[in-house]
Amino acid sequence: MPMSSTGFSWHHVNQWHLGVLPLVMMAVAGLLYARGTSRVTQWSRWRSASFALALLVTFLATESVLGVYDMEYFSAHMIEHLLLIMVAAPLFSLSAPLDLAYSAGGTRIRSFLDGRLMSVVTHPLFAFAAYFVVIPVTHLTGIVNGMMRHQWIHHGEQIVFLVVGYLFFRAAFGLERGRTLHPGLRLVYVMAAVPVDTFTGLALLMSSTLPFPAYAAMAPRGSTPQWMLSNVQLGGSIMWIGGDSLMLLACIPITAAWVKWETARTKDLDAELDRLGI
Q: Is the dihedral of CA 163, 166, 167, 169 positive or negative?
A: positive
Q: Read off the pLDDT band of 17 (50, 70, 90).
A: confident
Virtual torsion, Cα 181, 182, 183, 185, nearest 10 deg: -80
Give the pLDDT confidence score for residue 10 in this predicted structure: 45
Mean pLDDT over 195-219 rounds to 93
Please give the pLDDT value at position 6: 40
Rounded CA-CA distance 14/2 in Å is 13
Lowest average pLDDT, out of 51-60, 115-124, 211-220, goes to 211-220
pLDDT average, residue stretch 269-273: 71
Average pLDDT over residues 195-218: 93
Which of 194, 169, 192, 172 shows the shortest CA–CA distance to 182?
172
The pLDDT of residue 68 is: 86
- Residue 117, pLDDT > 50, answer yes
Q: What is the pTM of this model?
A: 0.89
Burial of 175 (0-12, 13-18, 19+ CB in 10 A): middle
Question: 3-state class of 150 per DSSP?
Answer: coil
What mean pLDDT is predicted for residues 170-198? 93
Q: Confirm if 212 and 204 have CB atoms less than 8 A apart.
A: no
Q: What is the pLDDT of residue 145?
A: 92
Range 120-146 average pLDDT: 95
Task: Give the per-residue pLDDT at 231.
Answer: 94
| Residue 14 binned pLDDT confidence (cut-offs 50, 70, 90) | low
> Does the pLDDT value for residue 7 go beyond 90?
no
- The pLDDT value recorded for residue 13 is 56
pLDDT at 21: 86
What's at 205, amino acid-wise? Answer: L
* Spatial separation of the C-alpha atoms in residues 250 and 221, rounded to whole Å: 39
Euclidean distance between CA atoms 10 and 92, whole angstroms: 31
Q: What is the mean pLDDT of residues 200-219?
A: 93
The per-residue pLDDT of the chain, averaged, comes to 90
